Structures are given as structure tokens and as C-alpha cells.
Amino acid sequence: MAKPARPSIPSERPKDHPPIKSGRTGVLLVNLGTPDGTSYWPMRAYLKEFLSDTRVIDTPRWKWWPILNLIILSKRPQAKGRDYETIWNTERDEGPLKTITRGQAEKLSERLADLGEDIVVDWAMRYGNPSIASRIDALQEQGCERLLIVPMYPQYAAATTATVGDKVFDKLKTMRWQPSLRIAPPWHDDPVYINALASSMTAHLDKLDWKPDVILASFHGIPQRYFDLGDPYYCHCSKTARLLRETLGLPDDKLRLTFQSLFGPEEWIKPYTDRTVEALAKSGVKNLAIVNPGFTADCLETIEEIGVENRDIFKNNGGVNFSAIPCLNDSDPGMDVIETVTRRELMGWV
């Protein structure tokens, strides 16, 4: 015969115990990052932190250090600063990625209100500010004993999702009282995500007075060597593109997978976005749209690289109509995705 359950006994602190907040759960949305400003020194600090990460550039340090510090950081901050100036949120004096990620966190907090005041939503950047470490401190100060980290990358890559985990654990290594921890897995094939992308694309394309001959699903690239070493990123991107194509009812040649934002001399996963755009224009394609399913928020890579650079490539080679489809950002479909992932990963805690 089973023993009856032991009644729970409330835990009460002694009367002279110092006040302390406890019993809450923190949700931390983490995106890639953005510089604090567009001038040389803020850009240099941001690029140095980003390009010093061995998850991003795994070249041996003895070889990479002089290249980074003596060559790249002497010229690249000015060029990238000019690019950021074209997309900068002058009202808030910040990059759009920071503005959008803040909005996502605020809207997620509102959507989780039914779970009670013990859920605290915050946001951070892997590179730049606000830092992951500072927001973990802030959440602990608010009494969060459990922490859900949500890397804002639908597809897993060591250079994105894994490096968020690295930074979180770096912080935890310094803490005497660590919170319980969960890190949300990627959601590259979640039906809510795929349907949100499809509905967002359809709504955008319906507003155009022309129809695209081809749509490119352009993802940020990684070196081919990273994939060869076992990174699942290419597979995740391919599955997202396939599911999106099937949901929209498009043939293979109408929605194509490409990769952008190449850096350095080594080979990256293909096909490359810019070369595909050029080839399509030269082949006679007149109407082109590009969507960026791997980005949860518009940023330099979507607004400037796709919306300006690739637009120019297309039109300079014979293309006529071009449209960069916005990311999900903090739209209702986009927030449906973030809320779904968060609620799923909070199960058992709340």
C-alpha cells in the first residue's frame, strides 16, 4: 500500500533574516549585438569583441591576432561605421537590432502576464551592450532563481547559439549562487515559425504591384570547414527553406536557398547570395525578392547588405523590381514564435 504524501511545510525565514528576493524565473532574450555608436572607437570595440571570439573565427590566435589588430581593426571600423550610419536609429541613438530586441522583450513580457509576476523578461546582446553578464546580475537581483536563455537564432550554429551558451557559462563560473539554467533549442522547423514566415512573406508580397519571378531565402553564411567539422547549421537552413517552400506551394526554382555575409578568404557554404543575385539578373530575371529567415530582427545584414548592396547588384545587371522582405521582428507573427518557444521551455517551471 502506497504511503500517503507528506504534507508540504512552508519554508519561513527567521525574523532577523535580511530581506532577499527569491522564487522568480527570468527569461533572457539574447541577440547578436550592435555597436554603441558609429564612430571609430565604438565600432572598433564592437568588432574586436566579435572577431576575437574563437567560435566566430577559429584561426590560431598567434596567426589571427596580428591580422585582426594590425590590419582589420585599422580600417574596418570606419567602413562599417559608415554602413551603420545609414540604418542608425537616431532618435534612440542605437542600432535597429537593439531597438527591435528591446521591443520583443517588452511584448513578450506582456504576453506572459498570465503566468504571474514571478516571470521576469529581459534582453541582452552577445557582443556589445547590454551584456549577458550584466542582465544575469539584474535578473538575480530581482529574485530570479531559474533562468531561461533564449538565443534569438532559429537555426543552430556554433558561431551564434553556442557562443551565447559560452558567455552565459562564463558568467555562471563567477557566481557563488548560480541560478538553475535552461537554454532554448533552435526552432528551425517549428510549424509556428514556418507559418509565421509564410504569412509575413505573403502579406508583404501582396502589397507589391509586381510578382517576384524568384524568391531567395538568404541566410548568414559560415565557413564550409565549420560544416565539415559537424556544425548542423546548413542542414537547419535547408530544412527551413524546404518547409517554407512547401508551405507557400512554390517549386524548387521559385524559392532558392542562398548564404550571405562572407568574411575572409576561405570557402563558405554555397550558393552565395550576391553571386546568385548577379547571375539571376544576367539570366533575364526581372523581379526578385529576398527574405532572411535566419534573422529574428532586421539589422545591418538585412537592411543594408540585402536592401542596398544586393538591390544594386540586381539592378546594375539588368534586374528591374527588387524587394527585401522584412524580418518577423516584433510583429504579431514574430511574437507568436517567440512566445511559443518561451512557453514550451518554461514548462515544468511555471
Backbone angles phi, psi at 257, to 5 degrees: -90, 130
Give, rounded to a whole angstrom, the gap between the first and last alpha carbons of the chain: 31
**How many CB atoms are closer than 10 A to CB 336?**
17
| Residue 145: burial class (beta carbons within 10 Å; 0-12, 13-18, 19+) | middle
H or E stretch including 43? helix 40-51
- List, in sequence order, the alpha helices (H) in 207-299: 224-228, 233-248, 273-282
Tell me if residue 113 falls in helix, strand or coil.
helix
User: 263 CB contacts (<8 Å, ≥6 apart)?
Assistant: none
Q: How far is CA 160 from CA 96, 151, 222, 231, 350, in A?
A: 19, 8, 10, 11, 28
5 is written with which cell numbers?
504524501
CA dihedral sign of residues 69, 74, 76, 78: positive
Cα–Cα dist 62/205, whole Å: 49
Task: Check residue 94 and report its DSSP letter.
Answer: B
To the question of whether residue 110 is assigned a binding role by annotation, the answer is no
64 is written with which cell numbers?
589571427
In this structure, are strands 24-34 and 144-151 parallel, antiparallel, or unpaired? parallel
To the question of whether residue 305 is assigned a binding role by annotation, the answer is no
Cell numbers 528591446: residue: 102
Which one, of 30, 270, 53, lies nearest residue 161 by Cα?
Answer: 30
Cell numbers 527569491: residue: 22
Provide the annotated binding site: 220, 301
Q: Which residues are annotated as a binding site for Fe(2+)?
A: 220, 301
